[in-house]
Amino acid sequence: MRKQNNNTGKWVARTNKRTIQLAYWTTGWVVTMALATFGPKFLWHSNELLTLLAILINLGFGIGMIMANIRYLKVLDEMMQKIQLEAMGLSLGIGVVCGLSYSLLDTTNLISSDAEISYLIILMSLTYLAGIFTGHRRYR
């Protein structure tokens, strides 16, 4: 019985470690996204070299965040992986279908404003969160 508790404790520790790593990478990506977005206007007044550098740093943090997410998913149990997979699939599907429809509305001039990626990101994020909550309710 002691061995089982020890293994459970190790799994919890690994999961917590990967969750914290994912949080750090995600925070870094969000901060560098803000820097790349607002830096040219408020900090370095449209200096192209600094803007390119900020975008490349953001890209690096984005790749790091993706890798941290993969490592995080690998330490989850099968049920949590299933919940994550279903939520991600739903978010991707909604994002592609709604994103392309939104783009068509813009390119055919059926909406007066330009299609903004931020609206699509918000939709995908909310869909992902809803998928996680729904999955937890369904399987737990």
List the chain residues with pLDDT less than 50. 1
Number of other CB atoms surrounding residue 68 within 10 Å: 21
Question: What pLDDT does residue 3 have?
Answer: 56
Q: What is the pLDDT of residue 4?
A: 57
pTM: 0.81
Q: What is the pLDDT of residues 72-94, one digit of tens each?
A: 999 999 999 999 999 999 999 99
pLDDT score for 139: 86
Give CA–CA dist 116/106, Å, rounded: 10
Q: Where are the domains of the chain?
A: 1-75, 77-140
What is the longest distance spanned by two Cα atoms in the chain? 67
3-state percent breakdown (helix, strand, coil) of the chain, nearest 5? 85, 0, 15
How far is 28 from 34, CA to CA, in rounded Å? Answer: 10
The confidence score (pLDDT) of residue 140 equals: 76
